[in-house]
Chains A and B, each alone.
Chain A
Amino acid sequence: MSAVALTRRRPAARSGALALGISTLWLSVIVLLPLAAVVVRSLDGGVGDFWDAVSSRQAVDALRFTVLVSLATAAIDAVTGTLLAWVLVRDRFPGKRIVNALIDLPFALPTIVAGLTLLALYGPTSPLGIDIAFTQGAVLLALLFVTQPFVVRSVQPVLIEVDREMEEAAISLGASNRTVFLRIILPNLLPAILSGAGLAFARAVGEFGSVVLISGNVPFDTQVSSVYIFKLIESDAPISAAAVSVVLLLVSVLVLAGIRLLGRWGARHDR
């Protein structure tokens, strides 16, 4: 490393340090301070109160349902998302560009509107005569709606890059389509499917807007954790709400860490 290189890097390093300083300060004020308040103040009433809040039957039931329905959402997303990505990459049909654009609709549509639209089609006033409002199935449907793009958008670019020559070689050696899909394509897509499903799961665990109308918020049945926390805030029990939030935060952070590790594993897999 020559002296010239060092002096040349200096101005960039200085503005880099400034950018880092501003970023750290901004994230601390906007994100970390409020989150720290949730964690610290969840213990305002002592460890006993914290434990009572998170181990109440309603809290446990809501959390169990939230995790299970989010797992189901992620699993169904993994299948339908891969299917949609496949059709968008390998199939050709008129209007494909429009379909491709519409995949992102759930990201653009406000969640409360998503819930209302589902309630219009699959609720008491359904023109199809299908009424699943205020059931666990309705919660699953709402979560599927809002998380639908994750797997498609993570699998699509990988599927475009999959080496077609590898597939052709396998076919010419006598492999069936089934074998090619299971032995070549699926292993290539797996990291992308898992990370997409992980993002969908993380989103589903915290989802509120789309679920609040269609779930009916029946305790011990269709009540998810986010709606339970909302009810606690409304009934002026913010400390209990904070305790339940800490558990929910923990689930989200673990999933996020898992996705990061997966990303690293996927990157290593590529090389």
Chain B
Amino acid sequence: MTVSRPWQLTLRILALGWLLALLLAPVALIFYRTFEPGIGAVWDSITTPAAISAFWLTIEVSAIAVVVNTVLGVVMALALARGRWRGRWVLDAIIDLPFAISPVVVGLSLILVYGTTGWFGRDLADLGIRVIFSVPGIVLATVFVTLPFVVREVTPVLREVGDEQEQAAATLGASGWQTFWRITLPSIRWGIAYGVVLTTARAIGEFGAVSVVSGKVSGETETLTLLVEKRFANFDLAGAYAASALLAAIALLTLLIMTTFNRRREEA
């Protein structure tokens, strides 16, 4: 079906106009407002002790979540793509749950298990371990919400490449590990890479779940997204914009990497 020229232009203007009003204009405005007072003020605002500690906590938590979810994501993808038992769909459905659950409920669920009145709260307190209102809680919340990404990217790739090469390697006497490192892993590397980028972006940007379990102690349990909210609540609008611009810059970088990886993946 070929659309007439006026129609084509109308549709194009509508689509791009929508994108501009909803996404681009607000994000562009944030950058503009951030740099309005000058780059020196922005730099000062993102290098306060609280901001630096929030930055490093965000990096630390995201790094843990990415490593854990990548290793176990590949294991789960193998279980889904290579297994042949009947109950596979149950596993498949559970993996999707973190996408459908409100981040606030994720945070609450952790409080109900690990908080002072939680199932394991007292035992953990006796052992001197603090999960809620502490870094382990933030890590657990982030791992929960980013759990599906790597699995969801790797499973279809595993299905597509099939297991013929793996079987051939096994027949030629390769051990399970050798087959995995030399055959399986190279064939899914772009899928893993893409999943890692998605996980990183979500981990850095997670707010709701972390907000419930963090306790928001400046310099200790405050991540970058929590810093944005606190500055906004304290009427430090310029500070909130600066921290937001930093996060938005990370998001744009993520987008760039995603596009590059996507092209590589399609070529592969």
Contacts and interface: CB of A to CB of B under 8 A. Distances in A.
B33 interface: yes
B254 interface: yes
B217 interface: no
A120 B228 CA distance: 14
B79 interface: yes
Contacts of B147: 30-31
A120 B29 contact: yes
A50 to B, nearest CB: 14
Which of B80, B143, B212 counts the most chain A CB atoms within 10 A?
Answer: B212
B12 A93 contact: yes
A121 B25 contact: yes
Interface in B94-136: 94-113, 115, 117-119
B244 interface: yes
B198 interface: yes
Interface in A170-225: 171, 177, 180-181, 184-185, 199, 202-203, 205-209, 212-213, 225
B11 interface: yes
Interface range, A side: 35 or more
Which interface residue of A84, A110, A208 has the most chain B CB atoms within 10 A? A110
A110 B206 CA distance: 6
Contact of A256 (B1, B79, B93): B93
Most chain A CB neighbours (cut-off 10 Å) among B78, B80, B104, B251: B104
B115 to A, nearest CB: 8
B112 A34 contact: yes
A144 B23 CA distance: 10
Given A102-B255, A109-B251, A206-B102, A120 B76 contact: no
Interface stretch (B38-46, B49-57, B166-174, B185-193): B166-174
A32 interface: yes
A6 interface: no
A203 B140 CA distance: 21
Contacts of A8: 167, 170-171
Nearest to B30: A117
B256 to A, nearest CB: 8
Contacts of B247: 109-110, 113
A202 to B, nearest CB: 5
Contacts of A213: 229, 232
Contact of B198 (A14, A86, A107): A107
B84 interface: yes
B157 interface: no
A116 B240 contact: yes
* Most chain B CB inside 10 Å of its own CB: which residue of A180, A245, A248: A245
Given A104-B258, A213-B232, 16 more contacts: A12-B167, A14-B176, A34-B112, A37-B109, A38-B105, A99-B19, A101-B258, A102-B23, A109-B205, A110-B205, A110-B224, A110-B247, A113-B205, A113-B247, A206-B102, A227-B104
Interface of B: 1, 3-4, 8, 11-12, 14-16, 18-19, 22-27, 29-30, 33, 72, 75-76, 78-80, 82-85, 91, 93-113, 115, 117-119, 140, 143-144, 147, 163, 166-167, 170-171, 176, 198, 201-202, 204-208, 211-212, 224-225, 228-229, 232, 240-241, 244, 247-248, 251-252, 254-256, 258-259
Q: Which 7 A-B pairs have the closest CB atoms?
A: A206-B102, A110-B205, A34-B109, A208-B208, A117-B26, A209-B207, A19-B79
27 contacts: A12-B163, A16-B82, A16-B83, A23-B76, A31-B144, A32-B94, A37-B118, A38-B109, A87-B11, A91-B8, A106-B23, A110-B204, A111-B207, A113-B247, A114-B26, A117-B27, A117-B248, A167-B1, A171-B1, A180-B1, A181-B1, A208-B102, A208-B208, A229-B105, A245-B104, A245-B109, A256-B100
Interface of A: 8-9, 11-16, 19-20, 22-24, 26-27, 30-35, 37-38, 41, 80, 83-84, 86-88, 90-91, 93, 97, 99, 101-114, 116-118, 120-122, 127, 141, 144-145, 148, 167, 171, 177, 180-181, 184-185, 199, 202-203, 205-209, 212-213, 225-227, 229-230, 233, 238, 241-242, 245, 248-249, 252-253, 255-256, 260
